[in-house]
Amino acid sequence: MRRDTSFVLPFLGSLASIATVSGHRVEHRAPIESQYHGILSRQASDGVCKVTQPTVAAPSKNIWAGLTNQEMADAIDFLYKSKELNLTRDGGSWDNTLIGIDLLQPNKSDVLPFLAGKGAAPPRYARATLTFGTSMEPYIQEYMIGPLAQGIQTKAQPLTFLSTRKPDNKLRVYDSDAAANLISTITSQAADIIKILWNMNVDDFSLTTVSPTREENGQVTVWQGFTGSWTGLFDTETILPQGLYVRTDRTGRDPSKWKITGWLYNNIFYRGIDELKTAATQPGFEKLGMVVEGSWAQLEKVGDALPFDELPPPVSVQPGAKRFSIDTKENFVSWMDFSFYVSVSGDMGVRLFDIKYKGKRIIYELGMEEALAHYSGIDPIQSGTCYFDTMYGFGSSIVPLVNGYDCPAYSTYLGTAYMDRTTRRTQPNGICMFEINEDLPIQRHSGPGFTSITKNIAFKLRSVTTVGNYDYQTTYEFRMDGSITVGARASGYIQAAYVAKNEEYGFNIYDNLSGSMHDHVLTFKADFDILGEKNSLQKVEFVPTTETYVWNDGKPRNTMKAKKSFIATEDEAKINWSPNGNSMYAVVNKDAKNKYGEAPGYRFMPAAGVAALTIQNSSVTQNAANHADHHFYVTKQKDTEARAANPYNLLDPANPAVDFAKYFDGESLDQQDLVVWFNLGMHHMPHTGDLPNTVFSTAHSAITIEPFNYLPGDPSRATTQQIRITSDSGGNRSVTEFGAKHVTCSVDLSQLDPKVEILNATIAVHKLPYDGTRPNRIG
């Protein structure tokens, strides 16, 4: 009865370089300096806009790029040769196995001399995740292997310096053994009650297993819920809960000793199946309806025709050469005054490094650390669920982008590479990059006799990660005003609850179905370096005040003031945005004041809704989600505090591999290297509009980072993409332009009606039903 769910391989190494546009290969130009800074030809001789991709030579090697084939092979070979580790290829739960490998990101302290041209590239290390299953207490342990390439100095040693869990960061796995016999007992016990309740066969159901597995005082308790079958193409299982739950005790490694310890139906707990069966035959027993799959759950076109809807909608086009440059070998990107390196972590997804603006680094590292989805509900599945999505692999679960839908048809695409057990695979079109002329100007002003107006052209880099029921879209947007927006959206199937007694946790959204309230919290790292590494955290509050001014005859005036201060230590730097949004925060450099005496910096602020966990001291996440209990945090950068979380934090929530709270130890934030950890997220209360899928338009969260007293003025004034309309006293109007070339060529029609590429891609990772026997989520 358990559905055979495909788990897909995680662990991604680096980007592979595949670039296409409109389904065609991009013509790469030679990386010559004049094309980087020079003027690009827009028009081909035949009058058709020729879409070309300028290239640029990266200033240095991408030291954050994932493992090469050779490095991966060397590291794997070294591990398998180790007698001490005693690894078995394709081993079972009683063996030692390699379940993942990726680049161990170099320490910032080793990278800075290299970036400054004063040191060699840091040595390369692999980060491997191993399971040790030969004892009664199986565990997962991370290792670092290097330096690579393999040589006499290469060593494999436990990776402990990134963990707050001392001394060895061994994480006990409580659900490593297969539960086939127990499942078969559940099936046979449930057969009768399923007949009584619904007059159906037990084989028509699957079991959803709560995640994470719960261990208390050595006792391992697992709740599972009966889920209806999905009959069509779509993975509707998360919206088919049937309201019958079973609890098992899976303590120890001998599955023959595991047992069923209770059943739950209509919020009544029964100690055994006989108790439930007896109750079900008594008069007055309330039999509840089923959640029956149908068109309401499926992704078909339904509903009445919409006016003009079949006509082609407006589209953006690329009229000629693209206006950004890439080095596909080093995954280096340059757009206007921005440049950065792209890397992909198998666990955490797309990351940007060494983000420079006008030639100076503003951010050393920008990327997601963890994506949580924490549920609650009257039943033990919803109440016990918190997904830690990096465990499923936010990078390795990147899906190919659909040209013309996920990104404009003229986008440039990159493939992403990931590790599939011991094989390196490539996900085509995993990242798209494109410019877009937004639907509003970035600037306009009309005055007597003039209107000045400037186009708002943004450069975006996007990926989509499908983890089970949800597709997460992550977009990094760069703008001409020097700002960067980090945005996340979610679409896909909600995880819903059975309706019985769940009123306080959701709305009734379909027959017998309750939308299950949950919080999404996505933690990002932004390691700012403003005019050097030594920075401070400035706070500016709008505060109400009563003031008496010399010019007002001593009469008090109720007004407001700016209260400027600096956050002194880490302990004061666990911060929620003020409810009225009138507290501002910026990372500034006090030692590099501008000519007006102000400290230049970058401000960060919500650009759409943001969220931290509602639940305080969650009984589920315990210490494993201490990065998600405030809107943002600021810490002093340390090589040992490079990550807010660990993908396996859920294995021991009380004492996780990374307990973020331990980073806060009173250290000064005054002119130190600062890291901002900010949370995006949504408080998701599903309503009928979440069926069949939640939509990206409203499930959205974003933060914007903008220059703050950093430049003498607004840098977008430099663009040619503006005009001024003037009129004289006689009513004669004229338009002043500033050098922007006009489109004189015709557009390749393939941009208007792009071919949708059918890519031979890895399917999305399925996290449900969660199977602890495959902690590496590989099936």
The contact set with Cu ion (CB under 5 A) reads 684
Q: How far is the CB of 618 from Cu ion (least distance, A)?
A: 17
> Which long-range contacts link 725-732 to residues 24+ away (Cβ below 8 Å)?
725/450, 725/451, 725/453, 726/449, 726/450, 727/449, 727/450, 728/449, 729/449
Environment class of 263 (CB within 10 Å of its CB; exposed 0-12, middle 13-18, buried 19+): buried
One-letter identity of residue 487: G
Q: How far is the CB of 681 from Cu ion (least distance, A)?
A: 10
When the beta carbons of 496 and 587 are compared against Cu ion, the nearer one is 496
Q: Which residues pair with 602 in a beta bridge?
A: 587, 707
The reply to whether 470 belongs to the active site is yes
- Residues 690 and 510 sit within 8 Å (Cβ to Cβ): no
Six-digit token pair at 755? 């071919």
3-state DSSP assignment of residue 34: helix
When the beta carbons of 684 and 777 are compared against Cu ion, the nearer one is 684
Distances, alpha carbon 504 to alpha carbons 23, 435, 507, 515, 517, in Å: 49, 45, 8, 11, 9
Distances, alpha carbon 15 to alpha carbons 332, 340, 430, 726, in Å: 11, 14, 9, 50
When the beta carbons of 339 and 701 are compared against Cu ion, the nearer one is 701
Q: Which of 767, 768, 648 is nearest to 130 (CA)?
A: 648
Q: How far is the CB of 766 from Cu ion (least distance, A)?
A: 17
Helix then strand then coil, in percent of the chain rounded to 5, is 15, 40, 50
CA distance 265 to 242: 9
Place of tokens 């079900």: 280
When the beta carbons of 652 and 690 are compared against Cu ion, the nearer one is 690
Six-digit token pair at 648? 């396996």
Q: How far is the CB of 575 from Cu ion (least distance, A)?
A: 25
- Residues 344 and 397 sit within 8 Å (Cβ to Cβ): no
Q: Which residues pair with 15 in a beta bridge?
A: 416
3-state DSSP assignment of residue 649: helix
Distances, alpha carbon 134 to alpha carbons 139, 140, 241, in Å: 9, 12, 37
When the beta carbons of 627 and 684 are compared against Cu ion, the nearer one is 684
Q: Which residues pair with 45 in a beta bridge?
A: none
What is the 8-class DSSP label of residue 181? H
Place of tokens 């191993």: 130
CA distance 92 to 253: 13
Q: Which of 568, 589, 532, 573 is nearest to 709 (CA)?
A: 589
When the beta carbons of 22 and 502 are compared against Cu ion, the nearer one is 502
Q: How far is the CB of 683 from Cu ion (least distance, A)?
A: 9
Environment class of 556 (CB within 10 Å of its CB; exposed 0-12, middle 13-18, buried 19+): exposed
CA distance 426 to 420: 10
CA distance 430 to 434: 14
Q: How far is the CB of 519 from Cu ion (least distance, A)?
A: 8
One-letter identity of residue 168: D
Residues recorded for the chain: 779
When the beta carbons of 86 and 508 are compared against Cu ion, the nearer one is 508
Write out the DSSP string of 413-462.
Answer: EEEEEEEETTEEEEEEEEEEEEEEE-SS-SEEEEETTEEEEE--EEEEEE
When the beta carbons of 247 and 684 are compared against Cu ion, the nearer one is 684
When the beta carbons of 421 and 520 are compared against Cu ion, the nearer one is 520
- Residues 177 and 135 sit within 8 Å (Cβ to Cβ): no
When the beta carbons of 492 and 647 are compared against Cu ion, the nearer one is 492
Six-digit token pair at 635? 């810490």
When the beta carbons of 478 and 493 are compared against Cu ion, the nearer one is 493
The reply to whether 174 belongs to the active site is no
The active-site residue, picked from 102, 177, 389, 652, is 389
Q: Please identify the residue of the shown chain whose CB is closest to the bound Cu ion.
A: 684
The active-site residue, picked from 470, 472, 498, 602, is 470
Q: Exposed e or buried b for every residue in 38-59, given b needs 16+ CB within 10 A?
A: eeeebbeeeeebbbbbbbbebe
The residues carrying an active-site annotation are 389, 470
